[in-house]
Chain A
Amino acid sequence: MTNQTTWEVVIGLEIHAQLATRSKIFSGSPTQYGAEPNTQADLVDLGYPGVLPVLNAEAVRMAVKFGLATGSTVATRSVFARKNYFYPDLPKGYQISQYEKPIVEHGKMDIMLEDGTIKTIGITRAHLEEDAGKSLHEGLVGASGIDLNRAGTPLLEIVSEPDMRSAKEAIAYLKKIHSLVRYLEICDGNMQEGSFRCDANVSVRRFGAEKFGTRCEIKNVNSFRYVEKAINYEVARQIDVIEGGGTITQETRLYDANKDETRSMRSKEEANDYRYFPDPDLLPVVIAADYIEAVRGTLPELPDQKAARFHSDYALSAYDAGVLTASREMADYYEASLRTLNLGTDAGKLHSAAKLAANWVMGDLSAALNNHNLDIGQSPMDSTRFAGLLVRLLDETISGKIAKEVFEAMWSEGATADAIIESRGLRQITDISAIEQAISEVMAASPKQLADYRAGKDKLFGYFVGQTMKATQGKANPAVLNDLLQKMLPGA
């Protein structure tokens, strides 16, 4: 890799989020994904002669929600414009978008960097526009087939400032926006289906340089992993070109995931003159202050607010709070399991339970979900059953080690923690006399080790822990066991 101390990477993202409306932005066609070609394209979507667009109020409301959630200015007056170009997936020969007067401007989004510091990324604007159709190439010789089902699906295009300085930062920002639109319930965030897409503008410059380098726009990156790989590839390519004495040409590049490279897009080579002008079919969108306030009233608790509350109420670390609130579903699951525990008002009890629950949600539960490729919303173990396990950990019926076994059984058998503990006899032994008895037996059976220990070989303490645990099939309460060994091993 090239000298990272010489080159500064500059990244800006353009995110296209399909808004989760029932009908399209300018027509009454449905927006469901995956229908037979052209069965969800009405006269307006097809750009038939004589038809007119009528704006979907819900798309406006969703854009306003996004604006409020990012501390943006929501324009009281925004204007739709036509972006003119010919392309088969663009039925009217123009895309209805917003140009000079977008509905949302001047927002920001905080991201957490790997070292835990917070960085603010500027959001230049977010505007409403219509999605295009799709060109399909399979099964047709020398021809393409056009499916206009997607044409007219509402999009919110979210444009960032060129504020990101690494692929990691870009991913952190992208994930944060992804989380936010799902919190707001304005986009389903499904990247495979193209509901949430990202173009990255990437350039490099020598550290200390004031001017930005020439940027390339990378299109068609449809997963977080690919966005990161595409940016890293593109950065290395640009540095190679410049260090080799070449210059970067401003162009649109396509990321090819199979080859893990970006390449120039021939179809976009031609310089476009989009001839934007205000769409004469659509009057300005006027948004009243009381409307904005009413929408503000419907905003859910946002990821950053939730993380701050988790930090203060549950005494979780900023890192844990950030991870738990990254998705609304995970945060909800976490809090639901805590509620099931019914902890009352004792802050100490709450904080230790909260930490325990956090470790389990972020640890074993997340791992199990990952292994099975599931979202937390699809977890086979609901929060109540999960909380049943926490209860038995908190009341010391089982140890952390046994709990892992119980968790696995709960996951695969679908039973409650208590049922598993009973049927497998996993209840922890806290009865002091029973553990004393077991220790005495181990001491009697290990005279040499005992003598050595008493002669100063402290390390053998672990030997006695292990042997006693073995004798109790791991059910001895570790703390009690520890205490008793401390007392009994030195002898009277």
Chain B
Amino acid sequence: MSLHTLSIAELSRGLDKGEFSSVELTRYFLARIAEKDPALNAFITVMAESALAAAAQADTRRAAGQAGRLTGVPIAHKDIFCTRGARTSCGSKMLDNFVAPYDATVVAKLAAAGVVNLGKTNMDEFAMGSSNETSWYGAVHNPWDLSRVPGGSSGGSAAAVAARLIPAATGTDTGGSIRQPAALVGISGIKPTYGRVSRYGMIAFASSLDQAGVMAPSAEDCAYILSDMAGFDTRDSTSVDRAVPDYVADLGMPLKGLRLGVLTEFMGEGLEPQTAACVQAAIDVYRRLGATVVDVSCPSLPLSVPTYYVVAPAECSSNLSRFDGVRFGHRCENPKDLNDLYKRSRAEGFGPEVQRRIMTGAYVLSAGYYDAYYLKAQKVRTLIAADFQRAFSQVDLLVCPTTPGPAFAIGAKIDDPVTMYLNDIYTIGANLAGLPAMSLPCGFQDGLPVGVQLIGPHFSESRMLSAAHAYQLETDWHQKLPAAYS
């Protein structure tokens, strides 16, 4: 039985009807991970024992008639979410020995919904990267071509879902870290509105940009998981106290009359022609489904990459100061004094990309440079957010590519940070403005998947997911599997 091709809805129904138990599902996916992950390196930690215990508990709940729709469904968490009693590494040597004493709110909420956590997925170190090559645990391989990157920073979650080692996984997105890898491995991924999902227990990279989301084959799968993940959290004062819709029930919202704006800035120079054609074809599908398609311009949006590479490092340099070798994490041998303890522990514990961003951030905040860099970037951020606001007075959703092209080869960009950063050019704007955005598979370029991106106004997740779902009812890109994993 090929349980790995079932959607979350089908798994939920199957569990309900007793076609399989959660323990069986869990064993099935654990076996698939054991067999196929060595080539992918998508997992940092597989938690077989606790997963089987949780699955058995889920089966008991279901038998007692106390199951919710996710009870017994296996998923995996990006290793940025703290999981009580299990290593939470954030892809870093710094936290290789770190056992979280508490659960992130996302982990706790999904566990309460009965979801079974199979393990922790690989990621760029502290979520800093667009290729998953900065992980202390090694690069993740793209299931469509093992010599290529799966994107990042949620590369482990992306590869694991694309290879169907797991039906869905959590991710986090600071500048595209859910959407970009989703596009590069041919799955769906949603970054909700900033504040929609609690950040408590999610190891911070850039606090004003970080947001947790879901990566799964389809928008419908995302809707299932997001419904139980979202919501206000008293432990995160930047989470928003606003009712969470049932995104699954909202999937049926009619598409007809949808006003879709094509982001002209992102449809021209820099975009590879085949990818452009795939995105164009997706826009055509929407037109056919009854959407009104218009061109929309956000002139400040191309500034989002330089803006981001001031704001995100600034916040990260401060957020990562707590890793000092004193209370947790890596500590150097025989420090001769306090500064030696700090400097060697941090230099040994952090990889080069993390160190580079910490230094970038320390510099843009330092005396004499704050106004020219940090403050300037915050002002440009205002311009970008205002562009979006103007756009959403004309259209319901914006559409553009997720990335300029398909997955690149491992090693191709790792030595040139600026080229690597430009891979996020289409995704970063949504983070700067706190907007929800998602990537959907929309075709292939040279046998590699590419994605189309939807961006919506704050709290438009229902609209976005239903529009994505309508597209996926018309297309089957999200059902394509790499041959070795079908």
| Interface residues, chain A, with chain B CB atoms under 8 Å away | 43, 46-55, 82, 84, 86, 88, 91-94, 146, 273, 275-277, 280-283
Contact = CB atoms under 8 A, between A and B. Distances in A.
Interface of B: 81-82, 88, 90, 95, 98, 100-102, 104, 199-204, 206-208, 234-238, 314-315, 317-318, 320-324, 326-328, 338, 342, 362, 365-367, 370, 374
13 contacts: A48-B101, A48-B322, A49-B328, A50-B81, A52-B235, A53-B237, A84-B365, A91-B322, A94-B318, A273-B366, A280-B206, A280-B208, A281-B237
A46 B320 CA distance: 14
A86 B321 CA distance: 8
Given A50-B204, A52-B238, A275-B366, 8 more contacts: A48-B327, A49-B88, A49-B322, A54-B237, A84-B318, A86-B342, A275-B362, A280-B206
A49 B200 contact: no
B200 A50 contact: yes
A46 B366 CA distance: 26
A47 B88 contact: no
Given A49-B88, A84-B321, A86-B324, A275 B201 contact: no
Contact of B238 (A49, A88, A276, A283): A283
A49 B102 contact: no
Given A49-B82, A86-B342, A94 B321 contact: yes
Contacts of B323: 49
A341 B98 CA distance: 69
* Residue from B201, B203, B321, B342 with most neighbouring chain A CB atoms (10 Å): B321
Contacts of B81: 50
A50 B80 CA distance: 9
B318 A50 contact: no
Contacts of B342: 86
Contacts of A146: 326
B322 A92 contact: yes
B476 to A, nearest CB: 38
A94 B318 CA distance: 7
B318 A93 contact: yes
Contacts of B362: 275
Contacts of B100: 49-50
B98 A49 contact: yes
Contact of B236 (A46, A52, A276, A280): A52
Contacts of A283: 237-238
A426 to B, nearest CB: 66
B102 A277 contact: no
Among A49, A84, A92, A277, the most chain B Cβ lie within 10 Å of the Cβ of A49
A93 B207 contact: no
B203 A280 contact: no
Contact of A50 (B203, B237, B367): B203
A49 B314 contact: no
B201 A93 contact: no
Contacts of B101: 43, 48
Contacts of A92: 321-322
A88 B325 CA distance: 10
A91 B321 CA distance: 9
B371 to A, nearest CB: 12
A280 B326 contact: no
Contacts of A55: 237
A93 B342 CA distance: 11
B203 A49 contact: yes
Contacts of A86: 321, 324, 342
Nearest to B209: A280
Contact of A88 (B102, B203, B208, B338): B338
Highest count of chain B CB atoms <10 Å: which of A53, A273, A276: A273
A14 B100 CA distance: 39
Given A49-B98, A49-B203, A54-B237, A277 B374 contact: yes
Which of B207, B322, B323, B370 is most buried by chain A, counting CB atoms within 10 A of its CB?
Answer: B322
Contacts of A49: 82, 88, 90, 95, 98, 100, 203-204, 322-323, 328
A82 B370 CA distance: 14
B235 A275 contact: no
A93 B320 CA distance: 8
A277 B237 contact: no
A273 B104 CA distance: 33
A54 B100 CA distance: 20
A52 B321 contact: no
B327 A91 contact: yes
B200 A52 contact: yes
Complex A-B, nearest 8 residue pairs according to Cβ-Cβ distance, in ascending order: A93-B321, A280-B208, A280-B207, A275-B365, A47-B322, A50-B201, A49-B203, A92-B322
A27 B22 CA distance: 38
Given A55-B237, A91-B327, A273 B322 contact: no
| Residue of B206, B315, B326, B374 most packed against chain A (CB within 10 A) | B326
A76 to B, nearest CB: 19
A52 B210 CA distance: 13
A394 to B, nearest CB: 60
A140 to B, nearest CB: 14
A91 B82 CA distance: 19
Nearest to A41: B327
Contacts of B374: 277
Contacts of A280: 206-208, 238, 315
A277 B202 CA distance: 22
Interface centre among A51, A146, A275, by most B CB within 10 Å?
A: A275
Contacts of B95: 49
Contact of B102 (A43, A52, A275): A43
Nearest to A148: B327
A291 B45 CA distance: 50
A277 B365 contact: yes
A281 B342 CA distance: 24
B127 to A, nearest CB: 12
A53 B366 CA distance: 24
Contacts of A46: 327
A50 B104 contact: yes
Given A88-B326, A94-B318, A52 B237 contact: yes
A47 B314 CA distance: 18
B318 A82 contact: yes
Contacts of B238: 52, 280-283
Nearest to A272: B367
Contacts of B200: 50-52
B270 to A, nearest CB: 30
Contacts of A273: 366-367
Contacts of A51: 200-201, 235
Contacts of B315: 280
A172 B90 CA distance: 54
Q: Which of A48, A52, A146, A282 counts the most chain B CB atoms within 10 A?
A: A52
B148 to A, nearest CB: 31
A17 B372 CA distance: 36
A86 B90 CA distance: 22
Contact of A54 (B98, B201, B235): B235
A282 B237 contact: yes
Nearest to A274: B367
Contacts of B207: 280-281
